[in-house]
């Protein structure tokens, strides 16, 4: 039991570090407007307001990654040991999490411009891939309850499985919506992290 706890602890610590770095890197896309020393207060305020896509992208990405981390933490409450397959599946998830700052910067730069549809699709598509990775990680752990604690409630295991499955089609909807209306696409992404944050808080 001591070895199992130690292995899980090391993986959780490593994962927490990756999540923290990814969330921190998101802030690098928030830029200070360079208007010169003679810029008035109203000019600075206008320049800051014009950067609203960056604020929206940052908030949505930070909130989404935060919810992912919370669910990742919750998942490990039920896991008693790890295998090499589980380690690789977790590594795949973390790979995608570290990518989030890129589509965040992309949509910050192109939202509301001619390339907005592609930027929005890449952004939502990244979360499709992360949802798939979450499902893969959980399936590796929950398959025949191989890595789960013996006292993990079956109804909780089933509820987690259902909730993770919902993420893929919803983010796919956001990805497809990007080619019709980028506001709808980002709205879905924003709504999803808020929804999952609320239901997680109420559990």
pLDDT at position 16, please?
Answer: 94
- Out of 5-9, 88-92, 122-126, 188-192, pick the least confident: 5-9
Span 93-145, pLDDT tens digits: 999 999 999 999 999 999 888 999 999 999 999 999 999 999 999 999 888 88
In which band, very low, low, confident or very high, does the pLDDT at 2 lie, cut at 50, 70 and 90?
A: very low
DSSP class of residue 146 equals S
**What is the Cβ-side half-sphere exposure of residue 50, based on CA atoms within 13 angstroms?**
11
Q: How many residues does the chain have?
A: 203
Contacts of 59 (CB under 8 A, 6+ apart): 190
* pLDDT number for residue 1: 39
When the pLDDT of each residue in the chain is averaged and rounded to a whole number, the result is 88
Q: pLDDT tier at 3 (50, 70, 90 boundaries)?
A: very low
pTM score of the predicted model:
0.87
* pLDDT of 7 higher than 80: no
The larger pLDDT score, comparing residue 148 to residue 126, is at 126
Q: What is the pLDDT of residue 201?
A: 60
For 183-197, what is each residue's pLDDT tens digit? 999 999 999 998 888
Note the helical H segments in the chain: 2-26, 41-49, 52-76, 84-99, 101-110, 116-142, 154-177, 182-201
| 91 or 149, which is more confident | 91
Six-digit token pair at 93? 């998830």
Summarised one tens digit per residue, pLDDT across range 32-72 is 888 777 778 888 898 889 888 899 999 999 999 999 999 99
Contact 174, 185 (CB under 8 A): yes
Query: Quick one: tokens of 171?
Result: 């983010």
CA separation for the pair 14, 69 (Å, rounded)? 12
Greater confidence (121 vs 156) lies with 121
């Amino acid at each position: 039991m001591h070895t199992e706890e130690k292995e899980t602890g090391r993986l959780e610590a490593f994962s927490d570090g990756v999540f923290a770095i990814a969330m921190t890197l998101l802030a690098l896309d928030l830029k200070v407007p360079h208007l010169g020393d003679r810029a008035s207060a109203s000019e600075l305020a206008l320049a800051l307001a014009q950067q609203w896509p960056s604020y929206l992208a940052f908030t949505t990405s930070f909130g989404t990654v935060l919810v992912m981390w919370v669910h990742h933490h919750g998942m490990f409450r039920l896991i008693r040991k790890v295998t090499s397959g589980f380690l690789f599946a977790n590594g795949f998830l973390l790979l995608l999490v570290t990518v989030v700052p890129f589509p965040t910067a992309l949509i910050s730069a192109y939202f509301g411009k001619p390339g907005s549809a592609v930027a929005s699709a890449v952004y939502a598509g990244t979360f499709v891939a992360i949802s798939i990775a979450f499902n893969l990680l959980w399936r590796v752990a929950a398959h025949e309850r191989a890595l789960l604690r013996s006292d993990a409630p079956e109804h909780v295991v089933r509820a987690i499985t259902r909730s993770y499955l919902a993420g893929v089609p919803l983010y796919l909807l956001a990805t497809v919506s990007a080619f019709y209306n980028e506001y709808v696409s980002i709205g879905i992404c924003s709504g999803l992290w808020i929804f999952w944050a609320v239901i997680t808080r109420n559990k």
